[in-house]
Amino acid sequence: MFAVFTHFFMNPAPFLAPGSLDWQRTASRSLQLSLLLASPCLASAQDTLLQPVKMKEQMSTNSAARTALADELRWLKAEKITITSVSKRPEDPFTAAAAVSVITGDEIRRSGARTLPDVLRLAPGMSVSQVDASKWAVASRGLNDIFTNRLLVLVDGRTVYSPGFAGVFWAAQDVLLEDVDHIEVVRGPGGTLWGANAVNGVINIITKDTQKSQGTYFNTGGGTQERFFGEARHEGHITDDLTGRIYFKYADRGEHPTGTDRWDSTQGGMRLDWHLPDTQFTLRGDLFDVNTRDTFLRPTAVPPFFTAEQQAIDYSGGNALFRAEHDFSTDSQLHFQTYFSSFREHRFDVQTEELVDVELQHSVGLTDWWKLIYGANYRYLPTDSRSNNYFTYSPTMRKQQIFSGFAQTDFLFFAERLKLTLGSKLEANDITGLETQPNVRVSWNPDEKHSLWAAFSKAVQIPSRANTDLTVPQFGPVGTAFGLPVMASFSGSPNLGAQELTAYEVGYRVRPREDVTLDAAAFYNVYEKGFGSVTGVPGFVPFPAPHLLLPVTSDNSADFNSFGTELSADWLASEWCRLTASYSYIKLELDRGTPLDQLGSTPQQQVGLRSAFNLPNNWTLDLGVRYVDRITANSVTIPSYTTMDARLAWQPHLNWEVALVGRNLFAHQHFEYSTPAVNPTQATPVPREVFLQLTARF
């Protein structure tokens, strides 16, 4: 298998568009380094390198450290993990009828990542581009943009998107990564179960039950970009059945080269889990305050028609979630969940967004071969978007309501080796009315080594306030005409309909050996009535400097499609070494209109190689090399790049760990995205960084 990847890197021409010699040299160097460090895995394991770590006496008295070690062994042994994001009931990801990947808590820890977007780079097929120190563009299966709004992100079932643009402010979304059990990344539509905006994928961040990780955790460190960070958490038993945790974290991050984009964040929260014989209750909440700075290119009426100014952006808010789950029997479960979240952005003015959500669902086995899950949901989203001298919202206040109901059934045949899934969701909203999102999936598992699946589904994207209510009087310049610079204005349309996606997917997973797993998925997406833009007749503006003003209005005129494939491989080469590899390809084609999204802002090809080593004397080494193809965003081409992350850690005692982390090591700096056209925050190059961290568990 790795011979194939070796051939791929050493002979990229059959697979990749012709690139520069610099890329080939960089890729070759990265491959040679990766093979050099991975060479022990390719040889037979030597007994001298498998020295036992004598921790049994310490582990018997330390539950926190015991849990951390159990997580690591689960990852290294590649044991099965149960997921729920594909069908809202527990299932094996190997047999799931969807393109799904799982990022375990130990993978997160060993990657050295400090933010959620950096963690998502571990998932095959995900496109993650950092714009500046605190902003990212994150997408699945194309159409990546700083305002990406087709990816549904959840934390323990709570949506974290902004109603203002139906995307995610990643700087304001954080969790204590130590408490993440795993992250389920579903590439492809999930509208039948999760509703509108689950168009190109669903990311479900699932934190640990407080019964699973008792004890005290402390982590601190700092370096070149991560100037200082500290986080602490304590979990324990309140009664025999009631457990809880509290946590606090702070981070101070430096600015990127050529930028003034440093940021700091403070967050704290709690969680309670009450386990009764047939019922479980969960109560959790978080509070956060984030302060960022960036360079804003404010439009002006005189050449060069913009001026750079420093601005502070503050995010604050909180959330509270309550969930109750009751088992009537092994085949019948009731789930109730409600949550409230509040988000406040202070940039040009104060923008306030709130969300109230109530959900009830029931899962039941009607027969041995017929399973049914159904439910209803109500969501209330009041938003208050104040106008300023850069943009206006009309109306200023909008109170949106969404009512939905869904049903999905599974039919099992041939001793549960063949599964047929049928389902649909009906969703009524205040903007586009009633929307239907059907879903058909089939999976065939002839034995434990093979799994084939196919899916046909539809999903919709409801217009956000940025599509319907927003007006930007002037931005640009966007070009020249008749020797004059051309500026643009943007106006949303209150009569927009929903964008529709029809998706066709197939996939195949195989375990040719017990220690090797291969996964392949292919897709073809058809987008209709997409959010596009129609331009009017440019007007001449003589004062204070002559220029043309091009009016742009949003509509549903954009039709386009995308197709691609995603490949991944996982090899447990020995008891102390694990190797993973991934490759993704995507092609987007425009059929009609001009979409508001950046069709060229997603890299056509991406390659990732990772290796994890458990070395003698309680040392661990983790390496990750990734290649990202060039992109064109906002009429600017960002060159392709290859880079590497590394983490070297030593555990001198069961309770203590010291780690040295290096990120983006191949070059001093590189760009991953360009300055957005609307709301133009100046993009900055992503630098090489190094930091040291100390972790304690008691």
Interval 603-628 mean pLDDT: 97
pLDDT above 50: residue 33: no
d(CA 480, CA 635): 14
Q: What is the pLDDT of residues 650-665, one digit of tens each?
A: 999 999 999 999 999 9
Tell me the three state secondary structure of residue 110: helix
SS3 (DSSP) at 297:
strand
Choose among 157, 123, 124, 120: nearest CA to 137. Answer: 120
What's the confidence (pLDDT) of residue 156? 94
Alpha-carbon distances of 264 from 229, 281, 687, 694, rounded to whole Å = 9, 34, 18, 20
pLDDT value, residue 672: 95
Q: Are 157 and 84 in contact (CB under 8 A)?
A: no
Question: What does the DSSP 8-state code read for residue 162?
Answer: B
Quote the pLDDT of residue 62. Answer: 52
Q: What pLDDT was estimated at residue 72? A: 52
Residue 26 has pLDDT above 90, yes or no: no
Q: What angle do CA 620, 208, 118 make, to 5 degrees?
A: 55
Q: Rounded mean pLDDT of 592-606?
A: 87
**Are the CB atoms for 459 and 190 separated by under 8 Å?**
yes
Q: Which two tokens stand for residue 325?
A: 């789950």
CA distances for 332 relative to 101, 171, 281, 328, 373, angstroms: 27, 39, 17, 5, 10
Look at residue 189 and tell me whether its pLDDT is greater than 60: yes
Which is more confident, 295 or 501? 501
Asked if pLDDT for residue 49 goes beyond 50, the answer is: no
Cα Rg, the chain, nearest whole Å: 25
| 3 state DSSP class of 20 | coil
State the DSSP H helix or E strand holding residue 353, giving kind and residue range, or none if neither: strand 350-367
Q: Which two tokens stand for residue 58?
A: 């310490």
Q: What is the mean pLDDT of residues 367-376?
A: 95
**Which residues, 6 or more positions from 401, have their beta carbon under 8 angstroms from its beta carbon?**
378, 379, 380, 381, 429, 430
Q: Which amino acid is at 628?
A: V
| C-alpha to C-alpha distance for 411 and 416, rounded to whole angstroms | 9
| Other CB atoms within 10 Å distance of the CB of residue 359 | 17
Provide the pLDDT confidence category of residue 34 given band limits of 50, 70 and 90.
very low
Mean pLDDT calculated for residue range 71-87? 68
For 547-576, write each residue's pLDDT tens digit.
999 999 999 999 999 999 999 999 999 989
- Report the alpha-carbon distance of residue 473 to residue 469 in Å, rounded: 13
Residue 88 dihedral angles phi and psi, to the nearest 5°: 60, 25
Whether the pLDDT of residue 315 is over 70: the answer is yes
> Alpha-carbon distance 547 to 300, whole Å?
11
Give tens-digit pLDDT for 254-280: 999 888 898 999 999 999 999 999 999
Judged against a pLDDT cut of 60, whether residue 327 lies above it is answered with yes
Q: Are strands 547-574 and 484-491 parallel, antiparallel or unpaired?
A: parallel
pLDDT in tens, 618-636: 999 999 999 999 998 877 8
Domain boundaries 2-697, corresponding CATH code: 2.40.170.20
Question: Which pLDDT value is given to residue 300?
Answer: 80
Q: What is the pLDDT of residues 340-360, one digit of tens each?
A: 999 999 877 778 999 999 999
Q: Give the contacts of 645 (CB within 8 A, at least 6 positions apart).
A: 111, 112, 623, 624, 661, 662, 663, 664, 665
Q: For position 17, what pLDDT does the model report?
A: 38
CB 383 within 8 A of CB 163: yes
pLDDT band at 196 (very low <50, low <70, confident <90, very high): confident
pLDDT of residue 251: 97
* Most confident range, picked from 23-27, 160-164, 574-578: 574-578
Query: pLDDT averaged over the chain?
Result: 87
Separation between Cα atoms, residue 75 and residue 620, nearest integer Å? 14
Report percent pLDDT > 70 for the chain. Answer: 89
pLDDT band at 363 (very low <50, low <70, confident <90, very high): very high
pLDDT tens-digit series, residues 421-442: 999 999 999 999 999 999 999 9
Q: Which tokens hold the place of 316?
A: 């604050």
Task: Give me the pLDDT at residue 525, please.
Answer: 97
**Model pLDDT, residue 71:** 53
Q: What gap in Å lies between CA 551 and CA 538, rounded to an integer?
A: 7
The model's confidence at residue 365, banded by pLDDT at 50, 70 and 90, is very high
Q: What is the 8-class DSSP label of residue 47?
A: G
The whole-angstrom separation of Cα 347 and Cα 679 is 11
Predicted pLDDT of residue 83: 93
How large a percentage of the chain has pLDDT more than 90? 67
pLDDT in tens, 199-242: 999 999 999 999 887 899 999 999 999 999 999 999 999 999 99
The pLDDT confidence band at residue 147, using thresholds 50, 70 and 90, is confident
pLDDT of residue 21: 39
How confident is the model over 381-429, as pLDDT tens digits? 999 988 777 888 889 999 999 999 999 999 999 999 999 999 999 999 9
Q: Could you give the CA distance from residue 55 to residue 80 in angstroms, rounded to a whole number?
A: 25
Confidence (pLDDT) at 388:
76
Pairing of strands 577-592, 332-346: unpaired
* 367 contacts: CB under 8 Å, gap ≥ 6: none
Per-residue pLDDT tens for 496-536?
A: 999 999 999 999 999 999 999 999 999 999 999 998 888 88
Within 8 A by CB and 6+ apart from 58, the residues are: 65, 653, 654, 655
Strand-strand pairing, 631-633 and 470-481: unpaired
CA distance 431 to 320: 27
Could you give the CA distance from residue 174 to residue 134 in angstroms, rounded to a whole number?
12
Q: In this predicted structure, what is the pLDDT of residue 635?
A: 79
Contacts of 418 (CB under 8 A, 6+ apart): 412, 442, 443, 444, 445
Q: What pLDDT does 59 receive?
A: 39
